[in-house]
Structures are given as structure tokens and as C-alpha cells.
Structure 1
Amino acid sequence: MVSPQPSPGSAEAPAAVPLDIAALRTQYREAKQALLAQFMAARPVPQQAQRLIREMTRLADATLTRLWSGCGLPADAALAAVGGYGRGELLPYSDIDVLVLLPDGASPETDAALKDALERFITACWDTGLEIGSSVRTVADCVAEARADVTVQTALLESRWLCGERPLVAAFQQATTAVVDPRAFYRAKLLEMQQRHTKYEDTPYALEPNCKESPGGLRDLQVLRWVAGAAGLGRSWAEMAAHGLLTPFEVRQLQRHEGTLTLIRARLHAVARRREDRLVFDLQTAVAESFGYRHTKAQRASEVLMHRYYWAAKAVTQLNQILMLNIEEHLAGDCVTPLRQINARFFDRAGMLEVAHDDLYRENPHAILETFLVFEQTPGIEGLSARTLRALYNARDLMDAAFRHDPINRELFLDILRQPQGITHAFRLMNQTSVLGRYLWVFRRIVGRMQHDLFHVYTVDQHILMVLRNVRRFFIPEHAHEYTFCSQLAANWGEPWPLYVAALFHDVAKGRGGDHSELGAREVRRFARDHALDREDTALVEFLVRHHLTMSTVAQKEDLSDPDVIRAFADKVGDERHLTALYLLTVADIRGTSPKVWNAWKGKLLEDLYRLTLRALGGARPNQDAELDARKQEARQTLALHSALPGTEEPLWKTLDISYFARHEAADIAWHARMLWRHVDRPETVVRVRPSPIGDGLQVLVYSPDRPDLFVRICGWFDSAGYSIQDAKIHTSRSGWALDTFQVVHPHCEDRDQSCYRDLITLAEHQLAVALASEAPLPEPGRGRVSRRVKSFPVTPRVSLRPDERGQRWLLSVSTSDRSGLLYALARVLARHGVNLQLAKISTLGERVEDTFLVNGPALQHTRTQLQIESELLDAAAPR
């Protein structure tokens, strides 16, 4: 018989070593169980987890090598470990990812012997108890996959030779590393991380966190190693420190917290006896007891464990942000980021607040709180720079009792609360940087504290910040569609900051035992005394904290048709001001517990209780808020001045909701009504243009049946006609008509040249209407012109896409250098993916734009499409 010839490009398979699969399975299982038993019996310290991981990796290596040699694979093939296994981090029940490398030209599709050998090997792995994830490729295949998919690219970057042809693995490593573009890789990993954080609620404090994938988990540390390695800045903390990315103190902190998270994850695997990375309620107590924690009267064992986890995750979140910004600056290379001085202590570095020098806080501790006040007060500031974050991280020891009792710091804290904007972001930053808990020592006690119920899905500190956010949104017109009745009440309220104080303190005494409402009332009274609040505000915030659960209890558990129930509740609240404040805080509190807790029925009960109680107190029914009613009345007066008949506004106004009136001035409301009153029930598109009532340029009104590409066609016409869009207010009526208003300027008309304006108005009204009637394909966006300053000091484009609290609409934020045609380029991306635009807020800050859109559409429900949209928006926003 003639022996079969080897296929081209392959080598003769070495003689197979006989395998006893049953014996190998027994050996592997017993060795693994021995390692786990030794680990669980040892003192629970990070060093033991690292030892377990090393030994598990060695055991898998040895078993795979034995199986490879016994299955007759070609001599010129090789086996490599990839992914987490490739970097030598094999936990007890993690997948074992391997890559079978074949020489160029070899293929199991054409080589039956090779196919049989591969099937024997993979089957033997599973029969032995190795849960492998396998792929079979040539080096060329790997390069192609790495180019096409950044996830594959990442896994292949972490590879180790296991057995077989070592030079083939070396060639593979060299080829896949050469594929990586450090900047593109950084951007892709950053988008992936942001999306992953959104998936896990953008907080490290979820009650059942994933210790690998959640914000502050081990994946965030792996991302740092990936992007630093791709940038040539080292793959270990020590190597990164050698390149200047980390200080020795930060290296110690990273090693400490990584060790804690790894230890918890390893114990979780061992307790669950399966691959489980979520610290679910069912396993928290068992994992805690494996650490030696025990229940006490003060707290449960699981609370001790979770508190340890949350503090580690919080530190990782802080350090991840610092390092990612540092790496981004390194990748920018010689591109100098412009600095704009804000005051003697702070600069604006491309939208990031930066300290004037590294020792600022040690020289002037008052600047710690001033950081967040400047953050609120400076338009265009989006966050804190790596330098500022690092300085705050290293200044935590300065925030002691003397710092908290300093009158200047107390006044600064109140100033932060009293700002008209930026409250939510400032307090989240204060918590993330540990400043909030160190200034409000009572708040520090509830950072990372769990709430053992199915009502709250956040830790106490995160719940409090969610409630603060919700209260704040009542006072922001752009969010009127979320809280319609609350927004009406808030418009008549006055200064909102006492409500913010109540939100901060309403749950601050949880976990102490006793009535947290009463204990919290004492704490907020002490805060009011220390910060010199007046008697009326002190009484209000103390009342709100003490009774923050009362209204929901009455609404959901008592008979609202009983006059005695209403009367008793009215006696408790006392007056309309206390009732309104309590209603706002109650709605914010319920909505801040869980996305699933609030529903229309609860909302109706609370609103019914509010209205019934208001009637019992003798107040007027709040059918419309006074400010918006005054705005409508002013619009009617303006219409009368233009000789409009009474009732001219009614046909249009009946189709509009509160958010329209909240976002438009009375003069604009009157102009819209005057232009559109006879077109409400007609099918044609209406375009009206007038000289801008504020500043130079034109104001353009478009009234048209809404459709997905309407906004982009409007922007496209403006771009082709040479207009620059300065502002856009997008609104969709109840009847499905778009009512959009644009502020535009044209380079040919300056200094309010009325004759030029007349010509432009005539052209715009005709040509824009024709363009909107067209069904022709959208033209390609122009290259756009950028200023010399932007060319010299480009702003790194940033895109953020996040769901609103209902998960039905998405908030899209884009920050980049300004240029003509930018808005059209962005809108074109949205139109291409069928994303509908509902609101748009265009803001130009010198050479930088900060645009915010409220969008929805089926494409946003898919993770892969979201990433694609974000990536395309970044490309569209990049300077050309």
C-alpha cells in the first residue's frame, strides 16, 4: 500500500504518543481540585490568588502540551495561548482560549488528515475537562481577522507559545503586532469601554456588580495594559512607571486594588464552582464567609465584602481615568494642546479643567473645592484633566477636620450648590474623586454601602446622586418631556438649592440602625447650622429629610378618597411650599431607586395626592406653571401688536407640549404662531426667514411633516449655500410635524446689511423649500474650512451616546473643533443609520463646538451598530 503524501505546505506529523484520556481527565481534575482546596484553606490575601492563577496556568499548559503531542498534529503547526490565558491569567473556571497556527497553504478543508488530527485534539481537550475556545488559522488569516475586528486584534496581542513550531508563533506575534495602529486602537478600546460602562449602569456600585466587566473592574485595568502596550508604553505597571505614566504611589495603589479584585474574583469562582464573575446576592454571603467575615449586629458579612470591593473599584475607576487621559496625551505626540487661563489657579485645556501646577492643592487647600465651582462656572469645561485628577488623588490627606470646618470651604460648598448649571456633574466628580465624602464626612459613611432590598439597585451614595440628578432635571427645560408636571411646578419654585441639600441628606443616615429619616434630619440640621442657613431654609430641608418617605407611603398605602387621610397629610405638610417640595423630592427619590420601579400608576397616585392636598390647603390648582403662562401671555400681546386676530395662536398651540414653550422665547412663539396659524392643517412644507432678533444673521423657521432625513437635508442645504449654523432648536409636535428654528450667518452679509438680508431671505425661503421636497440622494459633505488656529491646535473629537432614564431616547454629545459643514456631516451619519433627531442644542465656544442631540431609532438598540455610529461620528467630527 502506498502511504498518502502530505499536502503542500505541511510537514509530516510526528509520531503520536498514545493518550489515556480517562487517566488525563482524572489527573487534571484532581490537580485542579487540590489547587482550589489549598487556595480556599489559605489566608485570603492577594498573593494566594496570584499563586493559584500561576499554578492553574501551568496545569493547563502541561495538559494541552500532552494532548498536542498525542494527537499527531503536523510538525510545522503550533499551539498558542491567547486572550486572558495568553497573558497567564487563568482563573479556576475561565475559558482556555487557544489558537492553532498552521503554516501558509495548509487548510483542514483540503487536507483530510489535518482535519482529523485537529478534531481529535479539540475533542480530547473537552474530554479531558479543558473548556477551550479554539480557532484554527494561518498567520495571514490572523492578520486579516485582526484588521477586521478590534476584539480579535486584542485577543491576539496577548499570546504565548505553548508547543509546536515556535518560529511560527514568533512570526504570528510580529505580524499581528504590526497591524495595530496605536491611535485607532486607543479610540476603539475607549469606545468599547464607554459602551461597557453604559451597559453596567455607568457605576462601580451596582448591587450585583460584575467584578470583571463593571466600571472599576478588572477589565478596566486590562484596557490600560492593552492601550499602553499598543502605544509602546509598557505592558506592566512598572514599565508604565518607567515611561512616566505612573508615580510609585500610583503603582502601589494599582497593585493593591488589582490584587483585591483578583482575589475576590478567584474566590467567587471557587465558591460558585463555575465561571461566575457577578457578585450576585446568592453568592455574596458565601464569598464573604470564605474571607472569614461574619454577620454582626451592625452589618452583614456580605456588606463588609462589598464595601471592600466598592472601594477597590472606585480607586480603579479614578486611576483608569488618569491613565487613559495620560495615554491619550502621549498619543497626541507633538500636537500642543492650547491652554486658556481661567484664573490664577486653573486653565482650560481643550475642555478639560487643569490645575496651574502640581502642588496647587498643597499650597492652597481652598482650591480643592474651588475646582468644582470653576467646573460649573466655566462654559465648555467637560471634565478634569489627568493632571488635575492626579493632584486631587494625591491631596486626599489634606481634607481633614480643619478643612471641613474652614469658613471659606463652607462658603465654597454652598456656592457649588447654588450654581445655575453643572450641579449633577460637579457632585458626581466630587464623589468620584473622593472629595465629597471627605468634605461631608457623614456622606463618606454611605459610600459603597449596600441596600439589602429589591427596591434599590444602587448603593446609597449612588442613589443619592441619582436623586440629586432627578431634582436638578426638574429645573432644566430640555428634560421637560421626562417630568412634565414636575417641570411645571419647578418653574414656579424659585431657588432650587435647598432641594439639592435635601436630596443629599435624605438617605445619608442609612445603615446605622434606627430610623434613618430621623437620624438624617439631625444631620441636615447640623449641616444647616454649620453653613449658616436661614431659619426658613433650615426648617424646609429638615422637614423634607424627615418626611421624604411619607408622601409615597400615603399615596400607595392609604385611601385617597378618604377626606380624613387628605386632611391629615395636609396638616403634616402645612403649606403649598412644603407640599410642592415634598412632591418633587418624592418623585425624584422613587425614580432614583431603579429604572424599573417608577410607573405611570405610581405617578398618578402621587399627582392625585398632590392635587387633593393642595385643594385641602386652599391653594390654586396648578394647571399651568406661572412662568410659561406669562410667556404665552406675552406672545399673545406681541401677536396683537402685529394686528393678529384673537385666537390666532390656538391652532398651532394645541399641537405643542410644554417642552416647546419652555425652550422658546415669547417673541419666537409669537412669530411661529403668526407664520403658521393658517398652515396647521395643510400638507405643504413652510419655510420662513427673518433677520435675527439677536445679533447678526438670519432666523429660519421650517415647518414640515417630520421624517428621518429632514434635519440632514436642512443642514445640507445650509452647507451648500454657505451658511454657518449657530444654533438649532428642534421640536416635533404632537401631530408629528417638525417645527425647527435655526440661527444662521452668511459670510456675504455682515454688519446687518438689510439689502443683502432681503435677497438672502427670498432665496432661502424658496430654495430651502425646494430642497426639502426633493428625494434625491444626499450629497457628500464638503471638506470644510478650519481656521489656522484649529490646524495648529486641534481639539480631540469626543462623542458620547447614552440612553435617557427611560431607555427610549438617547443623549448624543459631540465635542470637536469648529468648521463649516460640521453639523451636516454629523447629521448625515445619523440619517444614514435611520436615527431620528428630536432635539438639538448647538453651542459654539470660540474654535470649539459642543453639540447635544436627543435622538432615537431602532439602530440604537444594537451594540455593534452603536459602536459603528460613534466611530463614524468621530470620523465626521475630526478636523479635515
Structure 2
Amino acid sequence: MSSTAAVTSPCETLRAAYKASKAGLIERFQNATSVEALMQALARATNDALAGAWTACDMPADTALVAVGGYGRGELAPYSDVDILVLLPDTASDDDAGLNGRIEQFIGMGWDLGLDISSSVRSVEQCIGEAANDITVQTSLLEARRICGDASLFDRFSARYQETLDPRAFFQAKVLEMRQRHAKFQDTPYSLEPNIKENPGGLRDLQLILWIARAAGFGSNWRELDTRSLITEREARELRRNEGFLKMLRARLHVIARRRQDILVFDLQTPLAESFGFKATAAKRASEQMMRRYYWSAKAVTQLATILIQNVEAQLLPSTSSITRVISGRFVEKQGMLEIVRDDVFEREPHAILEAFLLYEQTRGIKGLSARTLRAIYNARDLMDCNWRRDPENRRLFMEILKQPEGITHALRLMNQTSVLERYLLNFRRIVGQMQHDLYHVYTVDQHILMVLRNLRRFAIVEYAHEYPFCSQLMGNFERPWVLYVAALFHDIAKGRGGDHSTLGMADVRRFCREHDIGQDDSDLFVWLVQQHLTMSYVAQKQDTSDPEVIKQFASVVKTERRLKALYLLTVADIRGTSPKVWNNWKGKLLEDLYRATLNVLGGAQPDTHSELQSRQEAALTLLRLETVPEGAQKKLWDQLDVGYFLRHDPADIAWQTRVLYRHVKSDEPIVRARPSPIGAALQVLVYVKDRPDLFAGICAYFDKNGLSVLDARVTTTRHGYALDNFLVAHPDQDDNYRDIANLVEQQLAALLNDESILPEPSKGHVSRLGRTFPVTPRVDLRPDERGQYYILSVSANDRQGLLYSIARVLAQHRIGVQAARINNTLGERVEDVFLLDGRGLSSNRTQIQVETELLRAIAA
């Protein structure tokens, strides 16, 4: 044994002490009811560790260590970063190697202690200069706090900072910054995986209020703002309660994730909910209960923050408090805000609550409701009872709100934010904060409904006509468009109750029509739209719309042109309102093609395969003449194609494929051509090669290997034994510039088709994080079509790499031909694929059962 004892370095000692202190604090926090004590204790433990490192590095006596940002407030979440400023005297030199070395040593030791350091090194005047140029730096310095070092230097910094701080400019910059931040989250706190800190209604909004109040000298906590009459005692209590919940949520999230984590991702929601004591029930998961509590909290923060910001503005900028004009005996305008003339207006005349939102729509120049009006609505919640809902005047006002030519979306969103909408439509209250676990929607049910309403309104606004010209054209000619807005409000209102939400929603909208004296024709349309709002999407994406019988059957459901137009507009708005990622031009084309085909049938045209065939061929020939293809050159190819080919492709595709292939009808070499899709955001790939049983599977294997998702597949077998296949594929990381990869796809896929080796085993791709959190029960449904010529295979499963190839490989092994495929990939997490199969390989029940069994095994692997 050595006679010299091992010496523990100062860093090791400090690290061990800090680690033990933090672990003990987190351990005690597991059963704590308050988060403030934890956050303050973590900040103190960090102070001690950094002060020890400062001493160990022998930092100069004329420098100071300063905590800034959230750490400057004396609060730290368990795995937050630690914002520090090494404050130097203005006489310090940038070339002082000794000083720079000590600073580097100190910051390095901070990391060695296990702290997530975010550091800056500046003199007093450098701090002031940076703050003048960057509002983020100015904000972080607002709450600066000395940890150790030269106290007089820190005092000089504080004095200089206060001298240069302009409270009005700071207020305006922070409000603008808040608006930009909110816009990144679509101005809603109701995303299914919200950011607790940055989302509207999150902790950042509460911090912002205290920042601007502190900068103006109004106070630095809710009690002080109450004392200054910027908020009421009740509002201060609500703010403290919701702030405590959000901080607790964030701290527990950090502990469970064991890292800095501010986004409530799906896979952490359940353990987080259970840490709060939420228990799953037959009706709701524990995570749903917790998330609803979060949404209600975020909603309250949004309401109260709006009131507070307006009140701070009124004191900072008194000119905003003057009356601009008198609107009515109950309302005036103050600098663009609608304000009640006295605090008890709603108590005296409860119908004025809805009148406020109607005036908000009708009065040009009104940007919102004033703090006084919002506060009065907040305090009038108990007035909005069953008698208030039954009041004929309120019913008239609500219908007027829906019928206005402008401002409907803004008014209804504001009614939702202030809880008026849910108190007028009681069933709407049940879906506020209601999550949707289908990996399809990215918003809660109430926000999805308001997004659908917004989309319908955009169809009616000239400024947005460039987005969806066909929808805007239909909307412009739609009589009484408010009918569609009511349908949007009710189409998903029954979600989460159990049972078919379309059927339950029919009863809700029927009652609404009866209570609001809506005519029979419009009432019938409301009920029908709620019942059928998913039908058009299903037919367009999962049925063979080239089959005249499919169109005829859909037309028999629709019955009238007005219903068709209404359902089409609602369907487009609904799909667009689920997620920014769900809509694409391919889906748009499917829906528009179905609309036009159905409109022809409703107009009296009988589905006629022969006339449709002739029409498409003549249109394709016209295009071929424009491209100088010799007259009659198409005949050799077209003679090998059946009617189904012409019905499944539009004239432009027929012309393109004919131009490529008319010289190569009996080619011994595979022909592959690719081009950016005419409908945008995809690559169209044409494959022409001698047919073989595993061909479709081999092509799918290539697409899977190269990360290309198949959106659509139209497979044709010619009379002389060639496969003429048309694929629409997309890459998740590719924008519109598919021209760059077209040549590569042509070369690689052609080379692959020349290789007739045995199909490889499918790759065992991993299911995504969301897929693991919300697993989809694999489903396979195989059934003959009405004429028994083809079989329709429907497959539903969590998406993963190699899934489509796994399906195609099973079919190839049983020599089952694929005639067409519709690949519906939902957010990259769930697939709903439909295949049209050649029925000759599925003649026996035994074969069908075997194929279904193998497919289930393949998609569940």
C-alpha cells in the first residue's frame, strides 16, 4: 500500500457534492406538492457548485460571476441549462492570456461538474451594447443576479442597465416577439404534443408578462401586479395556480425523461400522467385526463395574459386608453379594441355577451376585445346558463355571427378562447382539449373543428383564391355558405363519447336546427353532411373510381348537386384541417376527379364505358399530335391495352406513356421513365417490361430501399404479356425538385429489373416513436368486388420501412397479380393501403385464408 494518500481534486469534490445534492432534491421532489422549493433549491445548489469552481480557478478579484435568464430568477428545472455571464471590468484586455486561460478553465470545470452551461463573457459596456442590439440578450440581463465576485462591478452593471432600459421599447419588442413565437405554433396551445415552455399559453407567456412589468417598474410577481391593480386578486390567484401546474409539469417531465425536455411527446405523456396520480378509465386514458388539464390551464393563461398585457400597455402608453369612437350604448372602441362602457353591462344585459362578438365581426378597425371586456366576460361565466342559451335573442345573435361576410373564423376562435362558445354549445365543451389518438390529427378536436371552419372561410375569401382555385370557384357559387360553417362545427362534435361520432353528431345538429328555427332543406343538409362527412374521402382514396359502378353508387348516396358541392368543400377543408402534412396534390386530384365524375352522373349522364374510352383516347391523340407523334403510331401499343387501362389513366398520362413506348412495344429491355408529377410534389415513374409474378414486389423493394413512399400505383398487363405500371412516389425530404432524382431512378430501377434474382427478405424496419405509443392493430380484409372479377385487399398497420414490400412479396409468392394500389400513408406513422387484385389466384377459400394469414404475419413483423 502506498504511503501517499490519493488526493481528490477540487473538481471531483465539487462534482460529488453537487451530484449528491441534486439527486437528493429530485428524490424528495417525487412526493412533493410544490415545485417552487425544488427549483429554488436546485438554483442554490448550482450557486454553490459554481462559486466553488470560481474559487478553485482563482478568478481575478475585479471580475464577477452573474446568473442570467431563468437561473437569474433563482429558479432551475431539474435539467435546465445554466445561463451565466462572466462580467469583466471595462479595462480588461481581450489579449490577456492569463485571464482568458482562467475563464476557459472555469467554464470547462462547470461542464465537468455536470452543469449544462450556456455562457457569455462581456464587460459592462459590451453587455449594454449587446442588449441594445438584441432583445434576447436584453431580456436575459433583466433578471441578472450576482453569484460571487466583485459586488461593486455588478452594481455598476445594474445601474448602467437600468439607465439604458426603455420600458416602452422593451414592451413593444417583447409583444412582437411573442406574436412571432405564437405564429410558429399556429397561434394555438392545442397541438397534441405541445411545448410547455414556448406554446401559446405556456410558461414563456407568463415570463413575458413579468419581464415587461419588471422593466416598467410595475412589479416582479403576481402579488405586486395585484397591488398595482393590473390584475384582480382572483386573476392573480388563477395565474399562480396555473403557473404552478405548468412548472410542476415541466419539472416532472425533466425527471422522467432524465434530460431537458419541454415537449409533451406522446411516449412520455402516460408516465407523466401517472406521476400526477391520473388513472386510466374505461372511457379515457390517464394521459388524456392530464392533457385536458394542461389545455385548460394553457387556455386560462392565454386569456389572463391578454388582459394583463393590455393593462400594462395602458399604463405604459396612456394614449392607447382614449376612446376612439362610440359604437353603441353598450360598447365603445379604444384604440382598435372593443370595450364595454361599464363593468356590469353583461350582468344587466346578458345577450350583450354575444353582441360583443357580432360587433367584433361587423365593425371595421376592431382588432379584438379590450382587457375590460375580456375580464367582464371571464367574470360573467355563471350568467351563461340554460336560460341564457334558450333566449331567442341569443339564438338570433349566434346565427348572425355565423352569417356575417367577414370575421367568422376570428370571432369563433375568440369565443372558444373566452369559453363562450362551449357555454353556448354545451356539447362543444366536451371536446375542448379532447385528444385524438389516430396518428392523423395533430390538433385537439375543438381546434381541428376551428381549423376546418377556417379552411372553408378561406375558400370564400378572394385573397386566398390562389390556394385552391376550384374550391374558391365552387364556394363563390354556393348559396348560403353559412350552412357549411354549421356543418363544420358539428362534423366531429361527438368525438370521444363512444360509438359512431357521425351518428351521434347527427342528433346534435338536428337539435341545433330545431332550436334555431332552421328550414327543413338546410336542416336536412346539415344532418346529411355530418353523417356522410367521411364518405367522399373514403371513396376517392380507397375505391376504384375508374369503375363506373363506383361513381354510380356514390352518386346515389349524394343525390343532388348541392349536396355534392357541400360534401366536396367540407371534405377538402376537413383533410386540410387534420395536419399540415396530410394534404397533398394527389389527394386533391382524387377528390376533384370524383367530384367531376359524380357531377356528370347527377347531370343525367349515364356511365358509359365505351363513350368514356373514346373520349379519353381522342383527348390523348390530340396531345400526341401536339408533340409530333406520327399519326397512327399509337395503334400498335393501344391494341395491346384493355379498357381498364384507359379508364384508370387520364388523357395526359396516356399521351405521355404512349410517346415513351410506341417505338418499344416488344422491347426486350425494361423501359423506365420518370418525371416530376404534373400534379406536383411527387415523382411519376413509368415501368414497361415483360411481366413476371414478382415484378410488383421487386419494384416496391427498390422504392422502399431508396426511401420513396408509393402514393399511387396503376398496374396494367398487356395482351402480349408486358407489365405497364405507373407509380406516383414521394420522398419525405424532397420538396418539389424531383427532376434532380428522375435520371437516377430510371437508371437504377432499369438495372434492377434486368436482375431476376430471388426476392430478398423484407427489411425489419422499426416502428416509429409515435407508432409504438399508439400501436395500430394490424388488419387485413380481402373480399371480392360485386362482379367477382377482382378482389379488394385492405391493409391497416403501423408504418415502417419495408412494409409495402412485405405485402407485395406475399402476393408475389402466391402469384397474385396487382391491378392497382392506393397507398394512404398517414403522417408517416400509419398506413391504410388498398389493392385491387386479379381474382384468378384467389379462387378458393383455402387460398384466401392462407394469403390473409401470411399478410397479417408480414405486417405485424
Q: CA deviation at 1:113?
A: 2.3
**Count of residues in Structure 1 that have an aligned counterpart in Structure 2:** 602
1:246 aligns with 2:228: no
**Contact 1:566–1:609 (CA under 8 A) maintained in structure 2:** yes
Moved more, 67-76 or 310-319: 67-76
**Contact 1:81–1:99 (CA under 8 A) maintained in structure 2:** yes
Distance 1:437 1:335, change over 3 A: closer
Matches within 5 A, 1:559-638: 559-618=544-603
* Structure 1 residues 623-663: Cα deviation after superposition (integer angstroms, max 9, x where no partner): xxxxxxxxxxxxxxxxxxxxxxxxxxxxxxxxxxxxxxxxx
Q: Paired residue for 1:31?
A: 21
Q: 1:104 pairs with 54, 65, 90, which one?
A: 90
The separation in 1 between residues aligned to 2:167 and 2:476, in whole angstroms, is: 49
Q: Paired residue for 1:283?
A: 268
1:383 aligns with 2:368: yes
Q: Paired residue for 1:521?
A: 506
3-state SS in 2 of match to 1:294: coil
1:22 aligns with 2:27: no
The separation in 1 between residues aligned to 2:19 and 2:604, in whole angstroms, is: 75
Matches within 5 A, 1:229-628: 229-333=214-318, 337-618=322-603
* Structure 1 residues 251-283: Cα deviation after superposition (integer angstroms, max 9, x where no partner): 001001111111101111111100010001121
TM-score by length of structure 1 reads: 0.67
Q: Paired residue for 1:128?
A: 113
* Structure 1 residues 417-452: Cα deviation after superposition (integer angstroms, max 9, x where no partner): 111211111101101111001111100110111111
Compare CA radii of gyration and give the structure with the larger one.
Answer: 2
Q: CA deviation at 1:111?
A: 2.3
Q: CA deviation at 1:131?
A: 1.6
Q: CA deviation at 1:24?
A: 2.0
Matches within 5 A, 1:660-679: none
The separation in 1 between residues aligned to 2:604 and 2:331, in whole angstroms, is: 49
The separation in 1 between residues aligned to 2:208 and 2:550, in whole angstroms, is: 57
1:182 aligns with 2:167: yes
Q: Paired residue for 2:50?
A: 64
* Structure 1 residues 44-96: Cα deviation after superposition (integer angstroms, max 9, x where no partner): x3x2x111101111111111111111111111211111100000120100011
**Contact 1:376–1:422 (CA under 8 A) maintained in structure 2:** yes
Q: Paired residue for 2:204?
A: 219
3-state SS in 1 of match to 2:318: coil
3-state SS in 2 of match to 1:209: coil
**Contact 2:63–2:149 (CA under 8 A) maintained in structure 1:** yes
The separation in 1 between residues aligned to 2:264 and 2:66, in whole angstroms, is: 31
3-state SS in 2 of match to 1:222: helix
**Contact 1:216–1:316 (CA under 8 A) maintained in structure 2:** yes
Matches within 5 A, 1:676-715: none
**Contact 2:442–2:578 (CA under 8 A) maintained in structure 1:** yes
The separation in 1 between residues aligned to 2:382 and 2:468, in whole angstroms, is: 41
AA paired with 1:35?
L
TM-score by length of structure 2 reads: 0.68
**Contact 2:435–2:445 (CA under 8 A) maintained in structure 1:** yes
Q: 2:36 pairs with 27, 33, 50, which one?
A: 50
The separation in 2 between residues aligned to 1:119 and 1:575, in whole angstroms, is: 76
The separation in 1 between residues aligned to 2:83 and 2:605, in whole angstroms, is: 68
Distance 1:619 1:272, change over 3 A: farther
The separation in 2 between residues aligned to 1:352 and 1:372, in whole angstroms, is: 12
* Structure 1 residues 652-709: Cα deviation after superposition (integer angstroms, max 9, x where no partner): xxxxxxxxxxxxxxxxxxxxxxxxxxxxxxxxxxxxxxxxxxxxxxxxxxxxxxxxxx
Q: CA deviation at 1:567?
A: 1.4
Q: CA deviation at 1:336?
A: 5.5
Distance 1:289 1:500, change over 3 A: same
AA paired with 1:581?
A
AA paired with 1:496?
P
The separation in 1 between residues aligned to 2:321 and 2:12, in whole angstroms, is: 64
**Contact 2:320–2:335 (CA under 8 A) maintained in structure 1:** no
**Contact 1:19–1:70 (CA under 8 A) maintained in structure 2:** no
AA paired with 2:52?
R
* Structure 1 residues 466-486: Cα deviation after superposition (integer angstroms, max 9, x where no partner): 111111122222221112111
Q: Paired residue for 2:133?
A: 148
The separation in 2 between residues aligned to 1:313 and 1:59, in whole angstroms, is: 31
The separation in 1 between residues aligned to 2:395 and 2:183, in whole angstroms, is: 34
* Structure 1 residues 214-257: Cα deviation after superposition (integer angstroms, max 9, x where no partner): 10000001110111111121111111112221110110010011
**Contact 1:146–1:179 (CA under 8 A) maintained in structure 2:** no
AA paired with 2:542?
K
The separation in 1 between residues aligned to 2:445 and 2:151, in whole angstroms, is: 53
Q: CA deviation at 1:112?
A: 2.5
The separation in 2 between residues aligned to 1:578 and 1:498, in whole angstroms, is: 11
3-state SS in 2 of match to 1:133: strand
3-state SS in 2 of match to 1:449: coil
AA paired with 1:397?
D
Moved more, 519-528 or 25-34: 25-34
1:82 aligns with 2:68: yes
**Contact 2:313–2:320 (CA under 8 A) maintained in structure 1:** no
CA RMSD of the aligned region, Å? 1.7
Q: Paired residue for 1:676?
A: none
**Contact 1:18–1:70 (CA under 8 A) maintained in structure 2:** no
**Contact 1:502–1:545 (CA under 8 A) maintained in structure 2:** yes
The separation in 1 between residues aligned to 2:405 and 2:431, in whole angstroms, is: 27
3-state SS in 1 of match to 2:217: coil
Q: Paired residue for 2:79?
A: 93
Q: Percent of aligned positions with the same letter in both sequences?
A: 60
Q: Give structure 1 stretches of 5+ with no counterpart.
A: 1-16, 622-806, 809-880
Q: CA deviation at 1:18?
A: 9.2
Q: CA deviation at 1:414?
A: 1.0
3-state SS in 2 of match to 1:106: coil
**Contact 2:314–2:321 (CA under 8 A) maintained in structure 1:** no
Q: CA deviation at 1:126?
A: 1.0
AA paired with 2:153?
L
AA paired with 1:63?
A
Q: CA deviation at 1:453?
A: 2.4
The runs of 4+ residues in structure 1 deviating greater than 6 Å are none
Q: Give structure 2 stretches of 5+ with no counterpart.
A: 1-6, 607-734, 737-861
